[in-house]
């Protein structure tokens, strides 16, 4: 059974979705007015996700324990798994990530997988920067990416 709820965060309202005991989606900007808040949810996965995200935003948590099940291709899942291993406060370039997943020529494909990440923040795609530590895109927008990088004390270069 799929369940969903909202979470008020410093980044705006987040939509959390779970299925079969795992978190499957985290997104921004959806019409969520009809959903319960995470505090009202009876789903233990959604409540745990909300607790962990709140602790992360408060600066009290640097890693997540929530069980996740991102839906994607084999390649996308390999990229997301590599991102989950990237420690808090550290970054990686698209090219470095491509090398890590065994295809150093696939930086553009890695960028596509990063952009398709269904569980941002928990799968930390905000930590992926362009070459020379330059800011790249983000599904939640560059303002939110900057906020997440600041939260983790990560320095980056703005694009010229």
Q: Is 84 a catalytic residue?
A: no
Q: Please choose, from the candidates 115, 108, 102, the residue with its C-alpha nearest in 3D space to the C-alpha of residue 72.
A: 115
Instruction: Give dist(CA 125, CA 15) in Å, integer.
Output: 17
- Cβ distance 126 to 145 under 8 Å? yes
Choose the catalytic residue: 125, 128, 148, 149: 125
**69 contacts: CB under 8 Å, gap ≥ 6:** 19, 20, 22, 23, 24
First to last CA, the chain: 47
- Strand ranges for 10-155 from DSSP E: 12-19, 22-28, 92-93, 128-129
Catalytic residues: 125
């Amino acid at each position: 059974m799929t369940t969903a709820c909202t979470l008020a965060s410093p980044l705006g309202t987040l939509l959390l979705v779970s299925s079969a005991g795992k978190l499957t989606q985290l997104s921004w900007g959806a019409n969520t007015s009809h959903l319960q808040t995470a505090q009202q949810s009876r789903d233990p996965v959604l409540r745990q996700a909300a607790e962990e995200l709140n602790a992360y935003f408060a600066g009290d948590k640097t890693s997540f324990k929530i069980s996740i099940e991102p839906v994607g291709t084999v390649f996308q899942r390999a990229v997301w798994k590599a991102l989950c291993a990237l420690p808090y406060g550290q970054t990686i370039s698209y090219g470095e990530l491509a090398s890590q997943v065994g295809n150093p020529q696939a930086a553009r494909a890695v960028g596509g997988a990063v952009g398709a990440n269904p569980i941002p923040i928990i799968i930390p795609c905000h930590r992926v920067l362009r070459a020379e530590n330059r800011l790249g895109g983000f599904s939640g927008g560059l303002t939110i990416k900057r906020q997440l990088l600041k939260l983790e004390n990560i320095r980056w270069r703005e694009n010229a």
